[in-house]
Amino acid sequence: MEMSSKLLEKAVAEISQLPGIGKRTALRLALHLLKQPEEHTRLLTESLQKMREDIRFCNSCHNISDTDVCLICANTSRDRTVICVVEDIRDVMAIENTSLFKGIYHVLGGKISPIDGVGPSQLNIVTLIDKVKAGGVKELIFALSSTMEGDTTNFYIYRQIKDYNIITSAIARGIAVGDELEFADEVTLGRSIIHRVPFENSIRSL
């Protein structure tokens, strides 16, 4: 699109580098900022810049953090013997939102995926194995996505810690609460039957 301002053109080009944002949306956002007081743009750019420069990752669980050790790991009321293994910090946020998990996390930073060139060494796997080896861990909960890559990653970790006498579990897969059976895929429905739970437990968990 032809623009009468190089400054606008440059800003639109930069905004449209962001994932899921096309040229048209980028232009809309840029024009919005131009209509707002300069203060708005300053607050936006400063917060982005500050986030990018100052954010750290927790030394222990690799979760995003403003300090060397994240608030979850530093919280003494959390059960440090139960570790939930997740791909991404977004998964930590999602589980934290349930308020039902009292253990700590370990963020791998991805899944093993040879096609994308991601091997075990690019993920935070060694630090997880070391935690198990160091003792004090009772249970590892695998909460990776149920894809081939997720399964591969789970299995890779499992093989290295299976001799350490800890419980390993995986989050339950099944029909979402409120969903209709007829619209569920067969694999999910099949798993939900095989991994059925005692009726009293099913009431309690709701």
Using CB under 8 A, list all residues that contact a copy of itself. 1-8, 10-11, 13-15, 17-21, 25, 27-34, 38, 40-55, 58, 63-66, 70-72, 89-90, 92-93, 96-97
How far apart are CB 64 and a copy of itself at their closest, in Å?
A: 5
Least Cβ distance, residue 102 to a copy of itself (angstroms): 14
Cβ distance to a copy of itself smaller for residue 50 or 173: 50
Q: Which is nearer to a copy of itself, 75 or 169 (CB)?
A: 75
Min separation Cβ 97 and a copy of itself, Å: 6
Q: Which of 87, 105, 106 is nearest to 96 (CA)?
A: 105
Nearer to a copy of itself, 47 or 59 (CB): 47
Contacts of 128 (CB under 8 A, 6+ apart): 83, 85, 106, 108, 157
Please say which residue, 47 or 202, places its beta carbon nearer to a copy of itself: 47
Q: How far is the CB of 158 from a copy of itself (least distance, A)?
A: 27
Sign of CA dihedral 113, 119, 122, 124: positive
End-to-end CA gap in the chain: 53
Which residues make Cβ contacts (< 8 Å) with residue 134, sequence separation at least 6? none
- Please answer whether residues 65 and 56 qualify as being in contact, where contact means their C-beta atoms are separated by less than 8 angstroms: yes
